[in-house]
Structure formats: structure tokens, C-alpha cells
A and B are shown apart, each in its own frame.
Chain A
Amino acid sequence: MKRRLDFWSVVKFACFALMLVFLVYPFFSMFAKSIISPEGGVTFDNFAQFFKLKYYYSTLKNSLSICITVTLTCLALGIPMAYCATRYNLIGKSVMNVMIIMSLMSPPFIGAYSWIVLLGRNGALTKFLTNLGINMPSIYGWGGIVLVFTIKLFPYVYLYVSGALGSIDSSLEEASESLGSGKFRRIMTVTLPVVMPTILSSGLMVFMTSLADFGTPMLIGEGYKVLPVLIYEEYISEVGTNAGMASTLSVIIVLCSTFVLLLQNAVVMKKNYNMSALRPPAVIKLRPIPRVLISFACILVAFLGFLPQIVVVVSSFRKTSGPIFTSGFSLNSYRDIAYKLSQNIKNTFTFSITAIILIVIFGMLVAYLSVKRRSKTSTLLDTMVMFPYVIPGAVLGIAFLSAFNKPPIVLAGTPIIMIVAYVVRKLPYTVRSTSGILYQIDSSIEEASISLGRSPMKTFFTVTARLMAPGVISGAILSWISTINELSSSIMLYSGRTGTISVAIYNEVARGGFGTAAALASILTLVTLLSLLLFQIISKGKVSIV
């Protein structure tokens, strides 16, 4: 029997076509580059070299050691905090939430730089503590990377898990309680397992982000070299000589992370809980002393994440003389960037806004297809869309460059390649958080709308999309924040006229202009704060940030 071509089939087809052009093709090009020798034959020399030379393979070991540790520490910090924040009447919860989201935006490696400014060899805090006779352990190397990553990335766990905890139907926990479970057992046997898909997603996010970031380990790692740093160095240093090595390293890192993603996907697929949280859990009123203690602990952790922003903003107003901060305050740094870098500022906003609009539209459609129209093809589509999630920005940059600097599609150096890279790279945030909420919307709601005569397309836009909004908005905010701060792909793809704020920050730091870098980073911080405020106004407080 012939099937009518319905709305969702068309959407699915269009998504596939876009994915083929902007994902499969670039990565195919990159892969080809890694196994084609300068003479044009097929060779696996590069791969052999990677596993032979300690210089190469030790970076893989280092990366895995960092990522696993950071994922565990972030979960250990984020889950209890999320639980306390959603279930207890903590003091200063909104301030805490804002600080946590702000710390997420701390521009790549500026966070690390701030921690060096505070705790490095000549750090302000180090000096202060040394004067008191306390010797801090070195911030450089493995420990420093783990510290900076944990403080920067636990917000993912916190935000995702509090979202899920807030939409569990309270009857589930009440049922457990009524069956005689104490609080601890209830959390372990009901609450945690039900939010487990979200926990896994957030853990994956932490793992992948820490695997991909190269700014932090480059600054604070010193001798402790991880894979992305190596990729970047190979790419920068190679001009024609060993064209394949950066591609080879990229392929290796992609293989590693794909494996982890598939593992996570398999687990989440098996655990699909339908919940219609018409009655979200009540907030428990704590007695004064525990309330103050728990609030204080949570705010302290949130503050640690927020500290780099303060350091950055304060630094941006300090007087500079060349690369050196001198005593006193001034607006020189801001005058400098207004004069030299206004194009970068403009670029960041035009590119990011365009990208975020595309991300929201595309993300909702893809999430819907993969959750509600589950089939082999939509699962494949979901896997494809999630693929960039596991890809360091530098790798995506290399892939795009190897595909789009030659016909049939030439995009290198244009704003389009930046925007497309942002969409491809940041889409997974929105897709994940949207999928999360879609799992909780019962299909009968849509069927009710369809039975009342609205076509599947109209139903999607009037009912489903509306119910998805909390997930979409929280995902889009994460996408937006991470887009305006995107460095690793931008640094590969920008040309003279398409540089963004984060590219400028990186270049300024490399040149030693920490004052201008701090001023630029402060602008990003301010914009993020404003975005959050705007979001609160638009959502009229009905949609929570998390």
C-alpha cells in the first residue's frame, strides 16, 4: 500500500540532505586526507606512527585520564547540588543559578588564565597564602587541569539534572515513600534511576567538552600534553610538510569519542521513561541551621565557578603598560578594543544570532524525529546530529577546511562557514535538552490534537513545540552562550574579516595583551548576563532556566 508523503517524512529527508553536505562530506574529506600519502597512494603510516611514538600516544592516555576524572568530579558535585536546589528552600537560589550559568560561559582558557592569576606561581592568592606560611600545591599539570575543568563544567550536570528533577511527577517519589522507603533509599531506587538518562547525558557533555578543549590544558597543563593540544600544534606547525598528521590525530580523537557516545546512546535508548509531570515535586522547607549550611556550601561552589569572571572584569579596568598590569584603574583596555576590534564584536553577534535561529528550528525538528518517530532512519539522523558533540572544535575546523576550500563548495574564509560550523557544533546541546523533555510528553497529547483536526505539522507548532519550550529554551541558552564563546573552531576557520571576540581574546593573550583580552571577555560576560535577564523577562518566570 502506498504511503502518503507526510510532513515528517519531508523534514526527515531535508535533515538528512543537510547532514550529508555539512557533516558527512567534510569528515569524509578529512578521513581521506589522513590516509592519503603526499604521493597520492593510500597509507596508514600516520596511524602507525601515532601508536609507535610515545610523543603521540601518551597524549591519548593523558586525555582519557583527565576526562574520566573530570566527569566523575562534576557528577559528584553537580547531582547533589541539583537535588538540593530543586528540593530545598535554599537561600539565594537565583543568585546561585546566575553564577553557575555565568561560570559556564567563562571564555575558554580565560578561566584557566584567571586561576593562574590567582593560584599560579606569582598568583595573587598564592602570594597571600605564602605570606601566611601556607604553601599551595602547584596549580600546573594534571591537578590544575582537573580543577579548572571541574569548576567550569559541573554546571552542565547541575543544569541538566535540576531540569529533570523538577519535572519528575511527585507521585513517583510518594509511591516509593508509601512503600516504606526511607529518604536515602528513595533517592537511590526511584529519583536517581528516573533521571539517569539525563545524568548520563550531562556526564557525556562533561566528558566530551573536557576531551575537546585545548585552551585550558595548553595554558595550565605545561608539560602535561593532551590530544587536542597536540592536534592544534600539529596544525599550526605543519605547512605542507606533514599535511596528514593533524587529520590523523583528528580521526583518532573522533573514534575515541564516538565510542563513548554510542555507549551512552545505547543506555539511554533502553531507558525511556514517559512522565507527564502535572504535579512537580514540592519544595521542602528546611530547618534554619541546615538551610543556612546547605545554602552556604552551594553558593560557595557556585562562587568558585564565578570567580574567574570577577578576576577578568576587575583586570579589564586595571591600568596596563604593554603586557604588564600596573597599579590603578583606567578604561584604556576598552578604548583599545573599540578602536581595533569592533569588527570582531559585530561578527560575534551577527554570526551567533543567525546560528541560534537555525539551531532552534533544526534542533526541535531533529529531537522530535528521534524521540517520537523512532525508526532506524531517525536513529541514524540522531546519531549524525550528535556526532559533532564528540568532536573537538579544532577537528571540526580541520574537517570543514579540507572540504570547503575547494570546489564544488567553496566557503573557506566566508561568514557562512563560521555560521554553519556553529550550527553543526552547537546543535547537539539543543537536541539533547529538547529530547529530554520530549521523553516526558505523552504521545496522546499530540494524538488528541490530530484527532481534533489539526494536521501533524500544525500540531507540532501549536502543541508539541509549545510543550517543548522549556527544554528548547534551556538548550538554546546553552547553545547561545557557548556559541558567542566559541574559540576552537573559529580559530581554525576565521579569516581577516571574520574574526570573532574569542579569536581576538586568544590572539591578544598570545601577544601578551591581557588587558584588552580581559576587556573583551568582560563584554562577553556582560552579554551573557543580559541574555539571562532578557530570558527571565521573556519567559515571565514561568520557564525556569534549568
Chain B
Amino acid sequence: MSVNVRINRAVKTYGNFRAVDEVSVDIAQGEFFTLLGPSGCGKTTLLRMIAGFNSVDGGEIYFGDRLINNVPAHTRDIGMVFQNYAIFPHMTIFDNVAYGLRNRKIPKDEIRERVEKTLDIVQISHLKDRMPAAMSGGQQQRVALARAIVIKPQILLMDEPLSNLDAKLRVQMRTMIKKLQKELGITTIYVTHDQEEALAVSDRIAIMKDGKIIQLGTPEEIYNRPVHQFVANFIGTSVFLPAEVVSQDENGEASIQVSGYTFRVKLGRKAPKKLKLSVRPKQFLFNDATDEGIKGVIRVATFLGDYWYYEVELTSGETVEVHEYTKEHEGARPVGTAVKLLLDLNRITIFNEDGTEAIR
């Protein structure tokens, strides 16, 4: 039976260094939960604490109601998929997958049945008598996955399982993993540094940096409403433009100036004088009608099918990336054209000056 996982102020220290620093999070039963962050952020360390391969130096980790801080890894009832697959090189594929079952005093017939069914699910039943050495990365990955889920663990842990695969296979595998996870309804904790992968598979994502969770939310929330400049920068592409509050009335309606362009936007609270705007390439709009907008000149224009990719050099000297859907504008805007850029005010994120807090 799959369970929920509760992590309360978990700490992992190496000497004076806190690799995981008081992380708290509740993961619901059946949820696909992803720890996302750059290398060294503590995501794998946290996963290994949950697995039982790293000690918990502070705080608590619960599987359901069971405190597992000091429970040995082999009695935690987890399934784990490793970055390098960790297939037992001396066993056939069948034996690899049956490995966890043979330890559970399950009748032989049932083991055979379950292994074969699982191999079917991951579509490698034809390889069951092979040795791992002769298999491709994608096939080994399927074995690793089958081996982890065949034991019907309480929790499935995955440590960058797709990072050694090529791009096309990665997309295929992640689709399969997500489908499988939903069918089995198994609580899954997934570690990756690939933001696109995280967005694609997760119910919820925790963005980690320096051992702490910076933001926790659904992929949409994380993408559209980053609470920290780090998140806006890490997920997708964003440019950051310094801005200034010219005035703000008692309703919160503020007048903000950026690179000589002033716009009005309603803010929920009293804003500091200086701000930082986080703008994604699709949140810039070309203004062909009036003289209003951030002024700049097109330096690069590239056709990418659905949209045109432009690099626009602003008068302030910065270069920003702008995407414009091909259906919205006929033909290219040639290099050297002077343009005016408006902002998609409902979508851009407004941070305080150092980017540590989202004003809106």
C-alpha cells in the first residue's frame, strides 16, 4: 500500500556544512513529487535520507504514521531507481526483477507471474533471459523501473533516472513513468535537475537551493508565479529588468517605470521604491501601433516554426529574448529594425530589488 510522506525540519550535515537545512514538506499518498534544483542543492541527499542511505541528522521523516529516522533501509519498503540503474550484472533480467520478491517469501508461481506482468508493463518481456551487459541504456532503465515497482513498495524513489538517456528516449520514458505512476497510484519522489522533465511529470515540485526548499507548488504555479528570482531564472527563460515605482495610490495601483517606459499595474501591497521585473520571452509584445514601450533594435531573428525568435538590444544596452508567434505577425521583423516592446502585465513577475521576494 502506498503511503504519504511527512518530512519535518530534516537536517543533514557534513561537518559544518548543512547539505539539507531544515526541510519540511508533506507529500500526499499517490502524489508524484519532484525535488528540482541545480547540482549540489541537496536534492539527492534528501532523497537518500528518505531511502535510508543517508542518516537523518535532525528533524523527522514519517512514512504514514511510522517514524523512519532510524529504520534500516532494507525494512523501509521502498522501490528505488538509480541514476546509473544499478542493475545486478551477474543476473538475468528476470532474476534482477525477481530479486526483491524472492526475499519476501512469495510462492514461486506468483513471483513468475508478477515479474512477467511487470516486464510486460515496461515492454521488455522479450529480454527476460538476457544478461544486462548486452543491453542499451533505455532497456536497463526499464529493468531498473520494473525491479523497483514489482515489489509494490510504499514509496517509489527515483534519482535522476533519465539523465543518462538521449533526448528522445528521455521524453518517451518520462511519459511512460508518469502513466505508470498514475495507474499504480504509488507515492513517488523524483529527483532531477532538468526543469522541463520536472514540469512534465510532476503533480508538485519543490525547488531546492543550498539545502532549502525555495518554492513548493504545482508546475503551473512554479512556472507562472515564481516567488524568487532563482526560480524564475531556473524554470524556463527569464530576463530581469531593473524598474522603479514612480507613484502608488492607496488602492495599490502603482505607476512603474522600466527603461523609459511607464506602465500602471495594481499591486496587492505597498511596494518598495526599486523593483526587478522578471519577463519571459513570450511576455514581451511588439507595439506596432503607438510610440509607447521599451525601445530597442532587433539584432537576431530566427524562424523556429511556431514562433520567431528575436534578440532585441534595448537602449539601456541589455539584450532580451523575445518570442512572437508566427500567426500573430506576418513575416519576419528584419535585423536592424527599431521596435517598441510592451509587457504582458498580467503574466510578468514583479520582484523586490534583489529578487528574493515576489511583490506580484
**Contact yes or no, B88 A449, CB < 8 A:** yes
Which residues of chain A in 271-299 are interfacial with respect to chain B, using CB atoms and an 8 Å cutoff?
Answer: 276, 278-279
Q: Which of B74, B76, B89, B90 is A459 in contact with, Cβ under 8 Å?
A: B74
Mask for B66-103, Cβ within 8 A of A = 1, else 0? 00011011111111101110111110000000011001
Interface residue stretch chosen among A67-75, A84-92, A173-181, A450-458: A450-458
Contacts of A444 in B (CB 8 A): 82-84, 86
**Contact yes or no, B74 A454, CB < 8 A:** yes
Mask for A186-218, Cβ within 8 A of B = 1, else 0? 000000000000000000000000000000000
**Contact yes or no, A456 B103, CB < 8 A:** no
In the complex, B12 has a CB within 8 A of chain A: no
**Contact yes or no, B84 A450, CB < 8 A:** no
Chain A residue with the shortest CB-CB distance to B88: A463
**Contact yes or no, B86 A448, CB < 8 A:** yes
In the complex, A447 has a CB within 8 A of chain B: yes
In the complex, A497 has a CB within 8 A of chain B: no
Q: Which of A3, A447, A456 is B86 in contact with, Cβ under 8 Å?
A: A447
**Contact yes or no, A450 B74, CB < 8 A:** yes
Chain A residue with the shortest CB-CB distance to B79: A451
CB distance from A472 to the nearest CB of B (A): 14
How many chain B residues touch A (Cβ–Cβ < 8 Å)?
Answer: 33
**Contact yes or no, A452 B99, CB < 8 A:** yes
Given A451-B51, A455-B72, decide whether A278 and B99 contact each other with a Cβ distance below 8 A. no
6 A-B contacts (beta carbon < 8 Å) = A3-B70, A449-B88, A451-B148, A452-B103, A452-B148, A453-B104
Given A6-B72, A452-B151, A454-B74, decide whether A445 and B100 contact each other with a Cβ distance below 8 A. no
- Chain B residues touching A, majority SS: loop
**Contact yes or no, B72 A442, CB < 8 A:** no
In the complex, A376 has a CB within 8 A of chain B: no
Contacts of A3 in B (CB 8 A): 70
Contacts of A442 in B (CB 8 A): 84, 86
Contacts of B78 in A (CB 8 A): 451
5 smallest beta-carbon distances between A and B, as pairs: A452-B100, A444-B86, A451-B80, A448-B86, A444-B82
Q: How far is the CA of A458 from the CA of B80 in the complex (A)?
A: 18
In the complex, A4 has a CB within 8 A of chain B: yes
Which residues of chain A in 426-457 are interfacial with respect to chain B, using CB atoms and an 8 Å cutoff?
Answer: 442, 444-445, 447-456
Contacts of A452 in B (CB 8 A): 74, 79, 99-100, 103, 147-148, 151
In the complex, B133 has a CB within 8 A of chain A: yes
Given A450-B74, A455-B72, decide whether A467 and B89 contact each other with a Cβ distance below 8 A. yes
Q: How far is the CA of A452 from the CA of B87 in the complex (A)?
A: 12
Given A278-B132, A447-B51, decide whether A455 and B88 contact each other with a Cβ distance below 8 A. no
In the complex, A406 has a CB within 8 A of chain B: no
Q: Which of B73, B84, B133 is A451 in contact with, Cβ under 8 Å?
A: B73
Q: How far is the CA of A463 from the CA of B76 in the complex (A)?
A: 19
Interface centre among A4, A445, A452, A453 (most CB of B within 10 A): A452
Interface size range on A against B: 20 to 34
Q: How far is the CA of A454 from the CA of B104 in the complex (A)?
A: 9
Contacts of B100 in A (CB 8 A): 452-454
Q: How far is the CA of A452 from the CA of B83 in the complex (A)?
A: 16
CB distance from A540 to the nearest CB of B (A): 13
In the complex, A10 has a CB within 8 A of chain B: no
Q: How far is the CA of A243 from the CA of B10 in the complex (A)?
A: 63
In the complex, A335 has a CB within 8 A of chain B: no
Which residues of chain A in 458-491 are interfacial with respect to chain B, using CB atoms and an 8 Å cutoff?
Answer: 458-459, 463, 466-467
In the complex, A2 has a CB within 8 A of chain B: yes
**Contact yes or no, B104 A466, CB < 8 A:** no
**Contact yes or no, A448 B80, CB < 8 A:** yes
CB distance from A62 to the nearest CB of B (A): 48
Interface centre among A6, A448, A450, A459 (most CB of B within 10 A): A448
Interface centre among B77, B100, B132, B148 (most CB of A within 10 A): B100
Q: How far is the CA of A452 from the CA of B157 in the complex (A)?
A: 12
Contacts of A453 in B (CB 8 A): 74-75, 77, 100, 103-104, 151
Contacts of B70 in A (CB 8 A): 1-4
Given A444-B86, A448-B86, decide whether A1 and B69 contact each other with a Cβ distance below 8 A. yes
CB distance from B268 to the nearest CB of A (A): 44
CB distance from A296 to the nearest CB of B (A): 34
Mask for B312-346, Cβ within 8 A of A = 1, else 0? 00000000000000000000000000000000000
Interface centre among A6, A451, A453 (most CB of B within 10 A): A451
Q: How far is the CA of A467 from the CA of B86 in the complex (A)?
A: 13
Which residues of chain A in 8-25 are interfacial with respect to chain B, using CB atoms and an 8 Å cutoff?
Answer: none
Interface centre among A1, A450, A454, A458 (most CB of B within 10 A): A450
**Contact yes or no, B133 A456, CB < 8 A:** no
**18 new A-B pairs (CB below 8 Å) besides A448-B80, A449-B88, A455-B74?**
A1-B70, A4-B72, A279-B133, A444-B82, A444-B83, A447-B73, A447-B82, A447-B86, A448-B87, A448-B88, A451-B73, A451-B74, A452-B79, A453-B104, A454-B99, A456-B72, A458-B103, A463-B88
**Contact yes or no, A447 B80, CB < 8 A:** yes
**Contact yes or no, A445 B77, CB < 8 A:** no
Which residues of chain B in 178-207 are interfacial with respect to chain A, using CB atoms and an 8 Å cutoff?
Answer: none
CB distance from A52 to the nearest CB of B (A): 49
Contacts of B83 in A (CB 8 A): 444
In the complex, B303 has a CB within 8 A of chain A: no
**Contact yes or no, B103 A278, CB < 8 A:** no
CB distance from B80 to the nearest CB of A (A): 4
Contacts of B133 in A (CB 8 A): 278-279
Chain A residue with the shortest CB-CB distance to B58: A1
Chain A residue with the shortest CB-CB distance to B140: A278
Q: How far is the CA of A6 from the CA of B69 in the complex (A)?
A: 15
Chain A residue with the shortest CB-CB distance to B101: A452
Q: How far is the CA of A2 from the CA of B151 in the complex (A)?
A: 30
Interface centre among B53, B73, B76, B157 (most CB of A within 10 A): B73
Q: How far is the CA of A444 from the CA of B86 in the complex (A)?
A: 6
Chain B residue with the shortest CB-CB distance to A454: B103
Contacts of B104 in A (CB 8 A): 453
